[in-house]
Structure 1
Amino acid sequence: RHTRERDGSIKALGFPYERYRQGQRDLAGTVYKTHLDSKKLFAAAPTGMGKTMSTLFPTIKAVGEGVLRRLFYLTAKTLTRTAAEEALSLMEDKGLHLWSITLTAKDKICFQDKVDCHKESCPFADGHYDRLNLALLDLLGNETRLTRSVIEAYSRKHRVCPFEFALDAAYAADAVICDYNYIFDPRVSLKRLWEEEKRHTALLVDEAHNLVDRAREMYSAEVDKAAFLALQREYKGKNMGLYKAAHAINRFLITVKKECAAPRSQGAASSQGNARVNTHRRAEALVKRELPLELVELLTAFLTVAERELATGGAAAAGREGTEQLLTVYFAVRHFVRIAAEYDERYVTLTEMVKGELRIKLFCLDPSRLLQKAGKGFRSTIFFSATLAPLSYFRDLLGGDQEDYAVSFPSPFHKEQLNVYISPVSTRYRDREDTKDRIATQLAELIRLHTGNYLVFFSSYDYLNGVLESFVRYELDIDVIVQNNRMSEEEREAYLGAFHEGRQRPLIGFAVMGGIFGEGIDLTGERLTGVVIVGVGLPQIGPERDIIREYFDKVGKNGYDYAYVYPGMNKVLQAGGRLIRTETDRGTLLLMDDRFLQPKYQMLMPQEWKPAMILRSPSI
């Protein structure tokens, strides 16, 4: 009955807005064709085009036509999740009837002060499965939009775990809004999706530019010596099996620690298949292009012992705290062993000494094969973002190939809405101390000439604070707010709330590129009148980035671009995209770095940023 109602409502559903925006109909048509042809699509859809509705509407139409049975809308951030919920809500107001659910992370939706899934500690875990079926029948019989608040209400009503309840409801839902990791992360992916279901399921990957680094993180794994030393001490005299397993690993890691600390010339190391990479004073890393087989064998043995002792109650000899410690290490080891099975030429083994502690990491350089593997079996996948530039780079790293579809759309806004300036000042690390006063001067003059509300983005907190120190000396009659790296939810909301229309005094917000205010926020109208981007956003130089560069050089790509330029410029494009959000917005964009004038960077800029006015003098 539900399927009949759903399909009927979809067939009757028209596009929920009065008209399509520029490019929106073309994107929607391409998405629908991708589902029909069972392909992947890489779509660069600029801000203001309405990409959420452009992907959801044709996908839902494909469900109504029987091409698909289900869709997953995958996101990296809460804000984009909200946009998908609002789009579905609008279509529901227009007559759509389908089950949609939003999955929330366990630590956020758990009713307890601390996540503890033992039935002795949690009344929602105790008897959960006894009450689950009735709870699901009640939920699906009375609701269609299964948002977090709805899941929480029914979980309390039936006294079931809200996280597990939501997962079970997701298997019945027609549309699932969730984080990337539910599909791509081997630790938390939805294991019960049968291959037959996948063949009728589409993946919509929003803000897909975020997936490259997220995938590297998902497909990397690490263990550290300190954890096994702590376990060894915890279980000494309490559980001989666990003590011996932890002791064997700790003893092996002591040997590795000595090897890592031993002086070795780079040339000698390279000839043995190793490379020593010296980073900042805090850390030193040893890189090997081979799997540490002896360690994997020891960890596999540890898993066997840990599973046995956890199942039989032997782990409880160390008390609740000791058992929790064991579980934390167990899950890290299980992930490490699972990733070891995927180890190939796209990996290196990174051994680091950080503050005297040894850490061994299986580092994924190129996640494309594993993303392709995780997405295998699904009918179609749509990767979309405002900043998929260059498309070839993202197609390479997100597991695409030449047969996949790729489209890029121009901005729907007029060039007259945006004034773009480039200040050819050096923001390179070696020049920052010499140029920070010039940058502060230009910021002050910009605000004097074009009063309003500004966001100023930097590549790091250190750089931000250095320029801020110079800027405050001007004692302008403005309000200044500063992002920090430990902001609570309330502080974030207060920061964004400060950007409102009709302010008595201008506002300047200092922020970091790639951070919480660098993408996914909407400050329309007079709330934001200017954006300043200081630097080209290059990731901090370090062993991991340098290893990525070397790897892509070896496989015939431009390693420096893949490791540094493209990820950095993506942050720049995202930050600049905060400014013009609607057809009536107007604003000023100031790019501060001489490299923005180089052909490489000019090619990556959107057309609406060109041509820019160049500020040759220190003042504006």
Structure 2
Amino acid sequence: MPSLIYIAVRTLVEYVYRSGSIDVGFRTTSTMAEGTKAHHKIQRTYGEQDQKEVHLYTEIACDEYVFGIEGRCDGLLVQDGQLTIDEIKSTAKDIDLITPDAFPVHWAQAKCYAYMYAKEHQVDKMRIQLTYVQVDTEQQKRFVQEVEYGELEQWIMDLLRRYAPYADLLYQHRCSRNKSIERLSFPFDAYRAGQRRLAGAVYRTIEEGVSLYVKAPTGIGKTISTIFPAIKAIGQGLLEHLFYLTAKTITRTAAEDAFVHLRTNGLVVHSVTLTAKEKVCFQAEMSCRKEDCPYADGYYDRLNGGMLDMLSQETLMTRPVIEHYAQKHRLCPFELSLDAAYAADVVIGDYNYIFDPRVSLKRMLAERRNQTALLVDEAHNLVDRAREMFSSTLVKSTFLALQREFKTRSVEIYQSSKAINDYFVRFRKLSEDKYRVEKERPEELVALVETFVFQAERQLASSGGAEPSPLLLDTYFAAQSFVRIGKLFDEKYVAYAEIDRSEVRLRLFCLDPSYLLTQMGKGFRSHIYFSATLSPISYYRDMLGAGEGDYSLSLATPFSADQLEVSVLPVSTRYHDRERTKERVAQLLQQLVENRQGNYLFFFPSYAYMNLVYKTFVEEERPDVDVIVQQVDMTEEERERYLTAFQAENGRTLVGFAVMGGIFSEGIDLVGDRLTGVVVVGVGLPQLGLERDILRDYFNGIGKRGYDYAYVYPGMNKVLQAGGRLIRSEQDRGILVLVDDRYLQGHYRSLLPEEWRDYTVLNVRD
């Protein structure tokens, strides 16, 4: 019996007919919204017998497969007894430039609908109409064909045969994948303590189609314990796809390593790692215009060959693999990774590909979402990342600069920029303080920015391939984001302004991202949020949008108590006491390295505080101690040199000064004797500031512990992450020193992991 392959009309015709270069034209959010309005306006002109949004499905046998094709046509018109399929396409371009043969993919989409309807209703002849509408002018242009059923049948068989090699590759891979999963065993000799429990919880959560919030301490093996059961769920038909989402490159590498282990154990899956466009671009200066980039020029003419080559030869498509095939087939590596992601079983990438409304994978259909699970690693990072995704900022000076640049170049850009600059001038004159916080959306400003976005789009779209003004382009994207976020503005937002002399910075600030995270993640079968520091778990459930039916799981450390020696030095590290206590802190650090040779990491809440203690620490020369210091904005090479310095066989003591919440306090593994001790100075509280105070007041106002939500919980998370660098395996031993008198308070002590609470209280002489 032939195998059944389901495919959407749009996916089918785009694979066969899409051609040409990567389009970097400005079909933006507002343009798309106008396009939707244009669709609806045309559909409202349909007659009583006409139908709109007609769902169509058919099954077609082609060689050894049966294709189940599904789609929804814009209109089915009845005119003088004839049936017409109407396919509506909106455009921001000059409609007079559109010719009948300009977009073969549009004809192909309409022909599919015509064949599907004619087959079901036994119609001998169909009319096909392409209706183009210009979103600015609402000008319309129509092209019509009349096609016999036999011609449609012959055409669609040719279409399917052209798609068949790709369909066959995916089908054969799916069979191999499922067989390999059936035989797959856990890739290590034994489960660590807590590991089997975590894996079982992940599988049951996917099975039930709910979400899971997991606090899984360092050393349990969170990555493999979440990936393995999710892969097993694919084998059982519960899932077809899996996203492994992270905030940092190093945790993406851990996921890739887990799939290497599973592949060694027999697993066959297609996994794709998504890397930011600016990191993988082959050009010295990134420009996606076909005139500037040979990898963008003619991209779709070469894409199918490149995809078939890569998917038939590779399973784990990491950044080097993507770059290899991109060079081989002269394809943009970023776009190739995105196209491969839609075909893959597993996608490894940043949070923003799912949760950020600006860059999420838009082409993922609803039916694919309900076959997909999200594994969200280091989920504690998602709270602040989501606030940033759902917030937006405008700055007065950029509009003043645009006003000056376009004064003689474009009256529309000049006037719309001037209107926004004038708004900010009035705003500044009416504001008596340096800060201003409003609970209402700034309606007048949003309207002015919408006008600017409209004019900027027209200017950019009419550039005729010329290089656009960098200032206009950057400001356009910022304004577009502002309009988008303005539509989300509700009681969980504030608009606040910072005024510094002539400058005004106005921000639409998301206070609680839980609802929007839920909306962006809607439709996925299951979400698994996990972190070693998802504590207190009630706070993260609240901030990440947990529902009543979702599960929580807290696991104990898999390591023995004698592996970790914890001490507390109760001195004040509060901002106003730092100068006074810096010598006591430095003395502790000095005594620590004198008493035991090894490698140490000293973590501080800020660069300023770190440098203050560092200067005191190095006043006394120690020829047998090497000191390295984290710098702001270190390159990848500088970071690698910093970490490489931590070697077990150094023969000398090494001290690394670093910052909590920075690149060395999360996700790094310095196992065995590569790390002897960690000192965490302070309780990690974010610096007092306007945003944190706004958060505190908001959560106080809705009956929650505002200071904890704004300051304590985020701060202590940094402490737990920094201290978690120390014990990474069953063989590790180490010293952890917490420097702050607040660790003796019941509230802060309760936020420490169980294995840290049996601490020794130090005096400096100890």
Q: State if a TM-score over 0.5 links the two structures.
A: yes
Equivalent residue number for residue 455 of structure 1? 601
* 3-state SS in 2 of match to 1:171: helix
Equivalent residue number for residue 751 of structure 2? 604
Equivalent residue number for residue 63 of structure 2? none
Question: Which digits, 9 at most, give the CA deviation of each residue in 1:208-249, with x for residues without a partner?
Answer: 000011001100001111111111111111111111111111
Question: For residues 356 and 388 of structure 1, what CA distance do their matches in structure 2 show?
Answer: 42
AA aligned opposite 1:301? T
Alignment of 1:358-397 (within 5 A): 358-397=504-543
Question: For residues 13 and 184 of structure 1, what CA distance do their matches in structure 2 show?
Answer: 31
- Which of 455, 462, 469 aligns to 1:312? It is 462
Is 1:91 the counterpart of 2:272 in the alignment? Answer: no
- Which of 650, 654, 659 aligns to 1:507? It is 654
Question: For residues 183 and 591 of structure 1, what CA distance do their matches in structure 2 show?
Answer: 37
AA aligned opposite 1:67? L
Question: For residues 509 and 312 of structure 1, what CA distance do their matches in structure 2 show?
Answer: 54
Unaligned runs of at least 5 residues, structure 2: 1-171
Equivalent residue number for residue 249 of structure 1? 420
AA aligned opposite 1:83? A
Shift of 1:610: 2.2
Is 1:173 the counterpart of 2:344 in the alignment? Answer: yes
Question: For residues 349 and 190 of structure 1, what CA distance do their matches in structure 2 show?
Answer: 28
Is 1:82 the counterpart of 2:253 in the alignment? Answer: yes
* 3-state SS in 1 of match to 2:688: coil
RMSD over equivalenced CA pairs, Å: 1.2
Is 1:473 the counterpart of 2:623 in the alignment? Answer: no
Alignment of 1:113-512 (within 5 A): 113-260=284-431, 262-263=432-433, 284-313=434-463, 320=467, 323-354=469-500, 356-476=502-622, 477-512=624-659
- Which of 715, 719, 728 aligns to 1:572? It is 719
Question: For residues 355 and 40 of structure 1, what CA distance do their matches in structure 2 show?
Answer: 48
Shift of 1:354: 4.5
Higher mean displacement: 304-313 or 196-205: 304-313
Unaligned runs of at least 5 residues, structure 1: 264-283
- Higher strand fraction (1 or 2): 2
Question: For residues 608 and 178 of structure 2, what CA distance do their matches in structure 1 show?
Answer: 55
Question: Which digits, 9 at most, give the CA deviation of each residue in 1:333-370, with x for residues without a partner?
Answer: 11111111110111110111257521110011111110
Question: Which digits, 9 at most, give the CA deviation of each residue in 1:395-442, with x for residues without a partner?
Answer: 000011332100000000001001000011000111111100011111
AA aligned opposite 1:302? F
- Which of 588, 592, 617 aligns to 2:739? It is 592
AA aligned opposite 2:722? A
AA aligned opposite 1:394? Y
**Higher Cα radius of gyration:** 2
Question: For residues 287 and 500 of structure 2, what CA distance do their matches in structure 1 show?
Answer: 31
Equivalent residue number for residue 266 of structure 1? none
AA aligned opposite 1:522? D
* 3-state SS in 1 of match to 2:423: helix
Question: For residues 437 and 311 of structure 1, what CA distance do their matches in structure 2 show?
Answer: 62
Shift of 1:115: 1.1
* 3-state SS in 2 of match to 1:540: coil
Equivalent residue number for residue 242 of structure 2? 71
Shift of 1:499: 0.6
Contact between 1:551 and 1:559, CA under 8 Å: does it hold in 2? yes
Question: Which digits, 9 at most, give the CA deviation of each residue in 1:152-192, with x for residues without a partner?
Answer: 11111111111111101100000000000000001100001
Question: For residues 349 and 259 of structure 1, what CA distance do their matches in structure 2 show?
Answer: 16
Shift of 1:194: 0.7
Equivalent residue number for residue 273 of structure 1? none
Question: For residues 258 and 614 of structure 2, what CA distance do their matches in structure 1 show?
Answer: 40
Contact between 1:207 and 1:386, CA under 8 Å: does it hold in 2? yes
Higher mean displacement: 33-42 or 479-488: 479-488
Question: For residues 297 and 608 of structure 1, what CA distance do their matches in structure 2 show?
Answer: 55
AA aligned opposite 1:406? S
Question: For residues 587 and 313 of structure 1, what CA distance do their matches in structure 2 show?
Answer: 62
Question: For residues 609 and 133 of structure 1, what CA distance do their matches in structure 2 show?
Answer: 55
Question: Which digits, 9 at most, give the CA deviation of each residue in 1:6-30, with x for residues without a partner?
Answer: 1111111111111111010110000
Question: Which digits, 9 at most, give the CA deviation of each residue in 1:499-540, with x for residues without a partner?
Answer: 101112101110000000011100011110000010000000
- Which of 527, 530, 538 aligns to 2:685? It is 538
Is 1:32 the counterpart of 2:178 in the alignment? Answer: no
Equivalent residue number for residue 518 of structure 1? 665
AA aligned opposite 1:555? I
Question: For residues 619 and 114 of structure 1, what CA distance do their matches in structure 2 show?
Answer: 57
AA aligned opposite 2:391? S
Question: For residues 436 and 204 of structure 1, what CA distance do their matches in structure 2 show?
Answer: 42
Equivalent residue number for residue 276 of structure 2? 105
AA aligned opposite 2:268? H
Question: For residues 425 and 530 of structure 2, what CA distance do their matches in structure 1 show?
Answer: 46
Question: Which digits, 9 at most, give the CA deviation of each residue in 1:63-102, with x for residues without a partner?
Answer: 0110000000000001100000010111111111110000
Equivalent residue number for residue 25 of structure 2? none
Question: For residues 543 and 559 of structure 1, what CA distance do their matches in structure 2 show?
Answer: 14
Shift of 1:285: 2.0
- Which of 167, 171, 187 aligns to 1:16? It is 187
TM-score, normalising length: structure 2:
0.77
Matched residue pairs, number?
Answer: 594
Higher mean displacement: 207-216 or 323-332: 323-332
Percent of aligned positions that are identical: 58
Contact between 1:444 and 1:474, CA under 8 Å: does it hold in 2? no
